[in-house]
A and B are shown apart, each in its own frame.
Chain A
């Protein structure tokens, strides 16, 4: 292993184990002053939040989309805008949007104009489609079947109109994930890799690279067992059991799960982490078998836009994706979105019975 950093013992600097820094010195002064004492907020226009404190102080926030993976030139440009048009303080949202805080309403319009001039779309507030939560993909991950930043760029090019508006029934959170581990997370709509073939094993490498008992233990369906192959200790897979999740691949790279053709993309809908109205929900798979088609994944865009358009037309105010489907039911969801309901969408994993319809609640 590479231990180059330890070659010069004399130069070793002990880390200062300072942990999470105190955020107080980074807060906009008005936020520090009114900390914990805000009364309400409204949104004068999409992309702008207006918060009022009990003290009467007001603060305006302008939110803009970024590419998340930013070069230092882009970050410096965002800082220049903060210094010239805002008040030198920014924060980032969980969805990698940047927020600028200003103390006067008249500072909002020039700030928006400057951001838009440099290509940072202002929006992502309220009932918009916000930036897509995503991962690393081919740029940096060691196990990806697809890219992350590229998928997001291609999709956001198509969805930017709804990022800039607040015309969806409720907020829409999207995520993408480059393997079935789903680092992108739960969302109203998620695009996740779905492998369709068992891993292809390089038996020459397994013994040297993989801790075999660990790999055996990692399989959710106990489909992996130790075996001698061509006189070498290796692993074999019971392909009748394997459901192609790829859990064995991270601890054992010679068990290659990614395939340019057979690693497909699936679409999931109805995840919600908020407790508003119903309890939080997990998202459900509604489509699979879509091709992994860089550089712009057009087939994904078609299905995503179709689902979002139907939701926008059909859902009532304040219905998140999950709330809307609760009202119209799954049969109508598949009918309206023109997605085929195949047998693969009926759960057969643990706890699946709770997903079956144990009633005569049927819509006609």
Chain B
């Protein structure tokens, strides 16, 4: 039995209502832990005063420089003593999940046993970077908890100016849209940069994220310094039986208004079967006895919409791989940035293919480490030095897929033009 609970009139109001309540969970833990009794006391104070009371510090595990988020209470009485002394230290362990966040129950139960023994008993599945967050341990217990979690085969994630924990979608494990082995790429890339993760010494954070198709379920384009997004080069695959089944269920209005009209490049057409084109870039499939869908894949931007709507009837092609975009980030300091296409397409099937992605990551991180200012993300660095300087730094050739449009102003010195044309021609001939 723990000590008596503090009054929590504000938090109590978060126990009613149908959604699962974290307050109820905390109160369960507080039955046995003075630690959580005081945590509730401090949280209730925040709800009353509308102020936060945690400050950072330096807490780590032996051998690593990051991965622990230290928290010390700042809610102190006039004599400098913590108002809620039992939760004066409330550190978090960031632990990397398996790609796709799959678990068996034995593993989850083992996490619970360790965290009940050494920590608060509160675990978040998962943090915004993808970590399992073991929330709330004293400074003394951080190492003990880590040692046991580490013995299970789990490792700390990133914090501070370091390569951060990554995320990948469910992907090949259960999704028909998957265009590469997300888990394999995720693991190969991240496990190359463990030194840059566990011993933070980069200018600022660096995030990789892995989405299996352009639906980008990991939100990599807006969050990742390097986003690896699955795509394909050949034609959309079709299945006539399923196309007819779809049409029989949904009808002409939905086909026209929800699919044809929503194709961003208008390459998805509905035609009489006798008028359907054939050719190496054409996908077509009958939807009934008179009409068929025709897609000229050269004009398709692989947006996924028609495949999302007509899953099974339509599917990504077989020549699969990924596009790589660099420089996505959120607000600080210059505003949100989307990633920019750096590699329009690369295969990710063999170990050699995946190694090429690892090498690109290595060149990008090396260039970032050398050239970014303190607290500057990759996207901000590219904004400051220009995309061309970045591409030359990471040894990637320019490609029109990297821009929405060519430049709209003449403010550029072009006296190297002929030389660049010669280089492009020489490369073409060598290919």
Q: Which residues of A contact B (CB under 8 A)?
A: 1-6, 12-28, 31-32, 35-36, 38-42, 51-52, 59, 61, 65-76, 78-79, 82-83, 88-94, 96, 98, 101, 119-121, 133-135, 137-147, 149-150, 153-154, 156-157, 160, 180-186, 214, 217-218, 220, 245, 247, 253, 258, 260, 263, 271, 273-278, 280, 282, 292, 294-296, 316-318, 349-351
A23–B100 touching, CB < 8 Å: yes
Query: Would you call B140 and A4 a contact (CB within 8 A)?
Result: yes
Q: Which residues of B lie under 8 Å from residue A153 when comparing CB positions?
A: 14, 17, 19, 21-23
**Please, which residues of chain A bring their CB within 8 A of the CB of B155?**
15-21
Residues of B150-172 whose CB lies within 8 A of A: 150-151, 153-156, 166-167, 169-170, 172
Partner among B112, B183, B305, B335 whose Cβ is within 8 Å of the Cβ of A318: B305
Q: Is the CB of A26 within 8 A of B222?
A: no
Are A72 and B121 CB-contacts (below 8 A) given A13-B62, A276-B304? yes
Taking A15-B63, A65-B20, A150-B47 as contacts, is the C-beta distance between A276 and B214 under 8 angstroms?
Answer: yes
Known contacts A79-B109, A141-B52; decide if A318 and B11 are in contact (CB<8 Å). no
Query: Chain A residues near B174 (CB, 8 Å)?
Result: 31, 38, 51, 59, 61, 101
Candidate in A78, A181, A280 with the most chain B CB atoms within 10 angstroms: A280
> Are A186 and B135 in contact, CB atoms less than 8 angstroms apart?
no
Most chain A CB within 10 A, of B19, B20, B101, is at B19
Residues of chain B with a CB closer than 8 A to A318's CB: 258, 262, 305, 309
Listed by A's residue number, 10 A-B pairs whose Cβ atoms lie within 8 Å are A5-B61, A15-B198, A61-B174, A68-B22, A75-B111, A79-B108, A141-B54, A145-B52, A157-B16, A274-B216
Q: How far is the CB of B360 from chain A (nearest CB, A)?
A: 18
Give the distance to chain A from B151, nearest Cβ to Cβ, in Å. Answer: 8
Chain A min CB distance to B80 (Å): 14
How many B residues face the partner with a CB closer than 8 A? 137
Q: Total A-B residue pairs with C-beta atoms closer than 8 Å?
A: 374
Indicate with 1 or 0, residue by residue over B95-132, a CB within 8 angstroms of chain A CB atoms.
01111111111111101100110000111111010000
Given contacts A4-B140, A96-B125, are A150 and B135 in contact (CB under 8 A)? no
Binary CB contact string for chain B from 175 to 196 against chain A (1 if under 8 A, 0 otherwise): 1101001010011001100100
Which residues of B sit under 8 angstroms from A273, Cβ to Cβ?
A: 216, 219-222
Instruction: Note all chain B residues with C-beta closer than 8 A to A138.
Output: 43, 46-47, 52-53
Distance of A71 Cα from B170 Cα, bound (Å): 25
A71 touches B25 (CB 8 A): yes
Q: Which residues of A lie under 8 Å from residue B46 when comparing CB positions?
A: 138, 147
A135 and B54 alpha carbons, distance in the complex (Å):
15
Question: Is A94 within 8 A of B338, CB to CB?
Answer: no
**Distance of A67 Cα from B28 Cα, bound (Å):** 14
Q: Which B residues are closer than 8 A to A by beta carbons?
A: 10-11, 13-14, 16-23, 25-26, 28-29, 43, 46-47, 49-64, 69-72, 89-90, 92, 96-109, 111-112, 115-116, 121-126, 128, 135-136, 139-140, 142-143, 146-147, 150-151, 153-156, 166-167, 169-170, 172-176, 178, 181, 183, 186-187, 190-191, 194, 198, 214-223, 229, 242, 254, 257-258, 262, 264, 301-305, 308-309, 311-312, 315, 330-336, 338, 373-375
CB-defined contacts of A15 to chain B, threshold 8 Å = 61-64, 146, 150, 155-156, 198
Instruction: Tell me whether A91 and B103 are in contact (CB under 8 A).
Output: yes
A21–B221 contact, CB under 8 A? Answer: no
Cβ–Cβ < 8 Å partners of B70 in chain A: 2
A-B contacts besides A5-B59, A26-B102, A186-B336, 14 pairs, CB < 8 Å: A5-B60, A15-B63, A16-B151, A23-B100, A26-B98, A41-B311, A69-B25, A75-B125, A94-B167, A101-B174, A142-B52, A147-B46, A218-B333, A260-B50
Cβ–Cβ contact B331 & A182, under 8 A: yes
B126, closest chain A residue (CB): A92
A146 to B52, alpha carbons, bound, how many Å? 8
A268 to B36, CA, bound (A): 34
Which residues of B have CB within 8 Å of A3?
58
Contact B374 A89 (CB under 8 A): no
Known: A135-B128, A273-B222, A274-B215. A38 touches B175 (CB 8 A): yes
Residues of chain B within 8 A of A121, CB atoms compared: 18-20
**Distance in angstroms between the alpha carbons of A133 and B219 in the assembled complex:** 12
Contacts of B52 in A (CB 8 A): 137-138, 141-145, 258
A26-B181 contact, Cβ under 8 Å, with A15-B64, A19-B155, A147-B47: no
Top 4 closest pairs, chain A to chain B, by CB: A40-B312, A157-B17, A23-B98, A71-B25
Expressed in whole angstroms, the Cα–Cα distance for A40 and B314 within the complex equals 9
Cα A143 to Cα B126 with chains together (Å): 20
Given A35-B172, A36-B172, A318-B309, the answer on whether A74 and B20 have CB atoms closer than 8 Å is: yes
The answer to whether B17 and A68 have CB atoms under 8 Å apart is no
CB distance from A116 to the nearest CB of B (A): 10
Interfacial chain A residues near B222, Cβ < 8 Å: 185-186, 271, 273, 280, 282
A213–B223 CA distance with the chains assembled, in angstroms = 28
Contacts of B308 in A (CB 8 A): 276
Q: Which residues of chain B have C-beta atoms less than 8 A from A16's C-beta?
A: 150-151, 155
With A5-B140, A182-B331 as contacts: A67 and B19 at CB distance below 8 Å: yes
Assembly CA distance A35 to B315 (angstroms): 16
By the criterion CB–CB under 8 Å, are A20 and B219 in contact?
no
Closest residue of A by beta carbon distance from B42:
A138
Contact yes or no, B69 A140, CB < 8 A: yes
Q: Which residues on the B side are within 8 Å of A137 (C-beta)?
A: 52
- B154 lies within 8 A of A18 (CB): yes
User: How close is A65's CB to chain B, nearest CB, in angstroms?
Assistant: 7
Smallest CB-CB separation from A157: which chain B residue? B17
Q: Kindly list chain B residues whose C-beta atoms are within 8 Å of the C-beta of A32.
A: 173
Is B20 touching A67 in the complex (CB atoms < 8 A)? yes
A41-B176 in contact (CB<8A)? yes
Least CB distance, B41 to chain A, in whole angstroms? 12
What's the least CB distance linking A322 to chain B, in Å? 13
Tell me which residues across on chain B come within 8 A of A90, comparing CB atoms: 102-105, 108
The distance from the CB of B403 to the nearest CB of chain A, in whole angstroms, is 13
